[in-house]
Amino acid sequence: MDTGLVKIFDTTLRDGEQAPGCGMTAEEKLRVAYQLEKLGVDVIEAGFPASSEGDFQSVKLISESIRSCEIAGLCRANFNDIDRGWEAVKGAESPRIHTFIATSNIHLKHKLGKTRDEVLEIISAAVKHAKRYTENVEFSCEDATRTDLDYLCKAVDIAIKAGATTINIPDTVGYTVPEEFSYIIRTLKEKVESLDKVILSVHCHNDLGLAVANSIAAIKEGARQVECTINGLGERAGNASLEEIVMALKVRHDRNPFKTRIVTEQIYPTSRLVAHVTGVNVQPNKAIVGANAFAHEAGIHQDGVLKERITYEIMTPEEVGIPSNKIILGKHSGRHGFKRRLEEFGYFLSESDFQRVFQRFKELADKKKYVFDEDIEALISDEFIRSSNFYRIISANFASGTDMRPVATVKLLIDDEEVTVSEYGDGPVDAAYKAISKATGISPNLEHYIVAAITGGTDAQGEVTVRIEEDGVVSQGQGASTDIIVASAKAFINALNKLRWRKEHPKLASTKGV
Ligand code: KIV
Ligand code: ZN
């Protein structure tokens, strides 16, 4: 019997990671995976193991660490990919092989150079091969929404007959519209009898901004798995956003009578974590998790909300995990309160790590009147979500103003040796970056520099995100401080550490997928 339960398949670590500038290290991916487990997703697509040694290792690590979600590895429909994929996921409590091939004429002709019959044979052989390893096999018809519908039915039927237990219908290029997608799903349900025995899934991209609407249309026609990402990350315009689908089902349960296992209070912490590790900030007006999603600016709205929330709010911030009382701690807060708050965030630190973070919290609390949740997150991120430290800042001092040439002096620890350099620049950030470049001997291109205030007020921490590139290797870094020049220096050092790590581990560095 259909219980109306929709499985949430999160592909932030695979399709999400394919978004420009979203590469994550294995350590960062594991941290996100733990948070996805807490969020209650059913399936984590941890990566594309055959695409690189780095992806293989991170899928393996996640498979061996996460216990309560299925772990999927993406594989093209060939034996090598599937063998490699299985090697990566086999340590999981519940491993899944996800294999795919394109089925549209456009892809057959221009990408694969194969006939329709050849592709049907490949599907059957690939699924059967995957089945030798596990019962849990998903098959996707890439570019399904631009595939001839009769042929799509044939491809799906063959995959099910070969043993696929989940059939995924991707709108790979975000081309379909809700009524058309409903029709595709309805037709598949009507024409492919065997579809009743398996789970039907959809995977929508957002090129026309319709990924969530299309996913919900498909659920209404019988899809019982949706593939989505946190913050809607993903190739090009991204994938369907997990938080939007889940809340649309929850808030409009009257119209969409379906359930998920998502713990909605974990949505916001997950969104923040993903933004931190990828360095891709959430747009302020993003539904559910954007900074303005619950901000009421217009006087008439504020007045209404103060009188009765329901006038302008269709859900509460608490429901999606945005704390109502954002002030959490001050300089008189003790170790216990701080530790408990960290644990509420999901950070269970060893005693020595805790000491380091507590020390930094005390320093911050001395500078700031109030320490907000976001400050704590930034601090943790600054301290831990960082790759190896080849370069560390010992001190950084800057001088600038209307009547002087900006100058920066930085003292760095570089491979255990202290180096001090002073440089002038167009502004203090420029001076700091020049000094750091001179000290480290690396002068990458600065592709992006974004500064954002983490909380309100003039004593707010600034968080800087930078993306740098050298010899085709890209990395991004973040830094937070109450002084934005210090935050900028930290972000640059963080990015340089990752850049060097990526250059020294070309095989392990995270890659782009398909
Ligand atoms: O968009 C797509 O078609 C995909 C498949 C590989 C599932 O990501
Ligand atoms: Zn995709």
For the segment 197-217, what is each residue's pLDDT rounded down to a tens digit? Answer: 999 999 999 999 999 999 999
324: left (phi over 0), alpha (psi -120 to 50) or beta: alpha
How far is the C-alpha of 235 from the C-alpha of 213, rounded, in Å? 18
Q: Please state which CATH number belongs to domain 7-278.
A: 3.20.20.70
Task: Tell me the best of 104, 141, 142, 200 to mutate to test the pocket of ligand 1, counting ligand atoms within 8 Å of each CB and taking the most.
Answer: 142
Domain covering 391-504, topology: Double Stranded RNA Binding Domain (3.30.160)
Using only C-alpha atoms, the chain has a radius of gyration, in whole angstroms, of: 24
Q: How far is CA 418 from its chain centroid?
A: 36
Q: What is the pLDDT along the chain (514 residues), one digit of tens a residue?
A: 567 999 999 999 999 988 877 778 888 899 999 999 999 999 999 999 999 999 999 999 999 999 999 999 999 999 999 999 999 999 999 999 999 999 999 999 999 999 999 999 999 999 999 999 999 999 999 999 999 999 999 999 999 999 999 999 999 999 999 999 999 999 999 999 999 999 999 999 999 999 999 999 999 999 999 999 999 999 899 999 999 999 999 999 999 999 999 999 999 999 989 988 888 889 889 999 998 888 765 666 666 767 777 888 899 999 999 865 444 577 777 788 788 777 766 677 888 888 988 888 888 888 876 777 767 877 877 776 554 578 999 999 999 999 999 999 999 999 889 999 999 999 999 999 999 999 999 999 998 888 887 666 777 778 888 888 888 777 878 888 889 999 999 999 988 988 887 777 665 454 333 3
Q: Name the E strands within 379-507.
A: 391-401, 404-414, 417-424, 445-453, 462-470, 473-481
**Residue 38 CA to ligand 1 centre (angstroms):** 25
How confident is the model at residue 212, as a pLDDT? Answer: 98
How confident is the model at residue 387, as a pLDDT? Answer: 46
Atom 1 in ligand 1: residue holding the nearest Cα? 172
Name the residue ranges covered by the structural domains of the chain.
Answer: 7-278, 295-384, 391-504
**Residue 502 CA to ligand 2 centre (angstroms):** 25
CA distances in angstroms from 171 to 140, 142, 161, 177, listed in the order given? 10, 8, 23, 10
For ligand 1, which residues put their CB under 6 angstroms from it? 15, 100, 140, 142, 168, 170, 172, 203, 205, 514
Our CA angle for 505, 509, 510, nearest 5°, is: 175
**Residue 11 CA to ligand 1 centre (angstroms):** 10
Q: Give Cβ neighbours of residue 232 (< 8 Å, ≥ 6 apart).
A: 206, 211, 238, 239, 240, 241, 244, 286
How far is the C-alpha of 372 from the C-alpha of 375, rounded, in Å? 5
Q: Is the dihedral of CA 417, 420, 423, 427 positive or negative?
A: positive
Q: How far is CA 163 from its chain centroid?
A: 31
Let me know: does 270 contact 230? Beta carbons within 8 Å. Answer: yes
Closest alpha carbon to 24 in 69, 62, 71 = 62
How far is the C-alpha of 424 from the C-alpha of 428, rounded, in Å? 8
Task: Flag whether the pTM goes above 0.95.
Answer: no
Q: What are phi and psi of 422, to 5 degrees?
A: -120, 140
**Residue 204 CA to ligand 1 centre (angstroms):** 9
- Written as six digits, the tokens of 225 are 């798995």
